[in-house]
């Protein structure tokens, strides 16, 4: 079993103070501890700009507790940083000294550095930006500031980094309930960034607690069946509509929505104004929620180039396979070599099929009667990065079919409404193909397995070399003909 190092990050933000401890493969920072307190440091004195005493005391109390938690967890690394509220406050450096008295060594990061780390966090969770050369804008809204950047670019990096003083708390303190004035101010800031209007049909990736809360509202309104924020996607029109709703809705109604913290509700109208104006200016073709931001970007920034280029979907799939296979871990290349000839698919679907091949034995450590359901539930709950909700659902169907689970529209674990009939049929065929590979055994480990699958004039052929003929037992024959039936073909085994 792998032992991944634990990496702790303390983020002293304008609205919340948070401790996150990560584990998991280096390319996929998996949160194992996540604690926060909404201390409101960004709600500074309007006359002096100083941090308020009560907010500092709440933060210091929280940080003392975090110090104790960190000591029990014994992480291998620890990073502590403060952002806009402390950065902009006249008494910010004095506050940092009080934090040092607790035993931390906090860093004060600049607005540009914060924008870069937020952008790297998005790139960490959205490898499609670089892989597909997507024009993308990253936005991270905090309590004190909004960080913007251009993602991807010629080298797949973060450029055009800027920090604007229009965070949700600072906007609320400045404008109160005067939303027209707030919108006008936001427009003025965006007018100073001409590149926002010049990116051709970008995708907008958004980060930050308030914007994620707005996404929760959209998920609630649309009865979205996948309760995962990462890669939840909205059209520009849907984003504007939900922002307009949040700007004027009854706060109690918003606070009653699952996943929306009541303490955040008062600042959501200002957060909605900033997001709406950003969408109106940048005109994205879609808005994507990112689960990763500055904290993950800090870890991603430290990875060697080899690991940064790694496919995060495969990295976590390999971890799941090693934990749940119960013995020798299969070779995805060998599994794919057997089934490649019978699939003609897009690179995106080939990527999902490869991930499923990595996890082809992930049910082995589960009771046989529950393997299919458990495998599907694991896929729907696993902290994958770099897949959207449709892709996650397709992957869940693949692994459930591989373990002979029934697939129907009323599945209790998999939200089948997310995918169409063609995607479902494809995923089931992949699952049956992987089940056949498992029954034949040698295709799990050996690229020269002695078996070949081939499509030939309306038939699915399984060619068998004499040296492996004994592996074609009753179960393998049954699995082969099930695959042929799913592909609407006649099946024939050829010695």
Instruction: Give the CATH number of domain 312-494.
Output: 1.10.3210.10
Q: Does domain 111-296 have CATH number 3.30.420.150?
A: yes
pTM of the full predicted structure? 0.94
Q: Where in the chain is the domain with CATH 1.10.3210.10?
A: 312-494
Q: How confident is the model at residue 328 (pLDDT cuts 50, 70, 90)?
A: confident
Task: Specify the 3-state DSSP secondary structure of 328.
Answer: coil
Q: Using an 8 Å Cβ cutoff, are 242 and 268 in contact?
A: no
Per-residue buried b or exposed e for 315-340, using 16+ beta carbons within 10 Å of the residue's own CB: bbbbbbbeebbeeebbbbebbbbbbe
pLDDT, mean of residues 21-29: 96
Q: What are 355-383's pLDDT values in tens digits?
A: 999 999 999 999 999 999 999 999 999 99
pLDDT, mean of residues 41-46: 89
Angstrom distance (rounded) from CA 459 to CA 491: 6
pLDDT at 153: 67
Q: Using an 8 Å Cβ cutoff, are 434 and 398 in contact?
A: yes
Q: Cα dist. 101→63, 67, 71, 189 in Å?
A: 11, 11, 16, 38
pLDDT at 156: 67
Pick the CATH number of 7-108 from 3.10.129.10, 3.40.50.880, 3.55.10.10, 3.30.420.40: 3.30.420.40
Q: How confident is the model at residue 1 (pLDDT cuts 50, 70, 90)?
A: low
Q: Where in the chain is the domain with CATH 3.30.420.40?
A: 7-108
Angstrom distance (rounded) from CA 103 to CA 421: 57
pLDDT, mean of residues 287-293: 96
Q: What tokens were used for 393?
A: 């659902």
pLDDT, mean of residues 27-47: 92
Q: What are 242-257's pLDDT values in tens digits?
A: 999 999 999 999 999 9
Q: What are 169-201's pLDDT values in tens digits?
A: 999 989 999 999 999 999 999 999 999 999 999
Percent of the chain topping pLDDT 90:
91
Q: What mean pLDDT value characterizes the chain?
A: 95
pLDDT at 154: 63
């Amino acid at each position: 079993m792998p032992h991944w190092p634990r990496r702790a990050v303390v983020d002293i933000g304008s609205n919340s103070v948070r401790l996150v401890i990560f584990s998991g493969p280096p390319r996929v920072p998996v949160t194992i501890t996540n604690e926060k307190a909404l201390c409101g440091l960004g709600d500074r004195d309007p006359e002096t700009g100083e941090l308020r005493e009560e907010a500092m005391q709440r933060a210091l109390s929280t940080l003392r507790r975090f110090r104790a938690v960190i000591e029990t967890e014994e992480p291998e690394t620890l990073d502590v940083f403060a952002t806009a509220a402390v950065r902009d406050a006249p008494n910010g450096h004095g506050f940092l000294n009080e934090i040092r008295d607790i035993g931390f060594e906090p860093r004060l990061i600049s607005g540009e550095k914060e924008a870069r780390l937020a952008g790297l966090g998005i790139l960490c969770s959205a490898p499609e930006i670089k892989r597909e050369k997507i024009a993308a804008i990253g936005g991270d809204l905090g309590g004190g500031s909004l960080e913007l950047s251009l993602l991807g670019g010629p080298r797949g990096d973060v450029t055009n980094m800027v920090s604007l003083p229009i965070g949700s708390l600072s906007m609320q303190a400045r404008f109160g309930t005067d939303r027209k004035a707030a919108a006008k101010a936001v427009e003025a800031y965006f007018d100073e960034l001409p590149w926002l209007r010049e990116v051709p049909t970008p995708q907008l990736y958004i980060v930050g607690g308030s914007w994620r809360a707005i996404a929760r509202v959209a998920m609630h309104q649309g009865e979205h069946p996948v309760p995962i924020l990462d890669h939840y996607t909205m059209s520009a029109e849907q984003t504007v509509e939900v922002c307009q709703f949040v700007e004027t809705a009854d706060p109690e109604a918003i606070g009653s929505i699952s996943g929306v913290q009541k303490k955040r509700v008062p600042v959501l109208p200002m957060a909605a104004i900033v997001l709406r104006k950003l969408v109106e200016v940048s005109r994205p073709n879609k808005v994507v929620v990112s689960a990763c931001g500055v904290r993950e970007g800090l870890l991603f920034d430290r990875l060697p180039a080899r690991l940064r280029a790694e496919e995060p979907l495969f990295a976590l799939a390999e971890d799941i396979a090693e934990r749940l296979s119960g013995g020798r871990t299969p070779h995805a290349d060998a599994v794919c070599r057997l089934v490649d000839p019978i699939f003609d698919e897009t690179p995106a679907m080939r990527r999902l099929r490869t991930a499923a091949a990595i996890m082809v034995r992930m049910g082995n450590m589960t009771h046989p009667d529950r393997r299919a359901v458990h495998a599907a539930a694991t896929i729907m709950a696993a902290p994958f990065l770099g897949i959207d909700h449709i892709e996650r659902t397709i992957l869940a169907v693949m692994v459930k079919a591989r373990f002979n689970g029934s697939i129907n529209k009323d599945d209790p674990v998999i939200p089948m409404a997310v995918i169409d009939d063609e995607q479902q049929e494809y995923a089931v065929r992949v699952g049956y193909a992987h089940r056949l590979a498992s029954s034949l055994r040698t295709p799990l480990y050996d690229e020269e397995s002695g078996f070949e699958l081939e499509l030939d004039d309306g038939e699915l052929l399984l060619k068998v070399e004499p040296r492996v003929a004994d592996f074609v037992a009753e179960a393998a024959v049954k699995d082969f003909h099930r695959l042929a039936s799913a592909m609407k073909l006649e099946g024939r085994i050829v010695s």
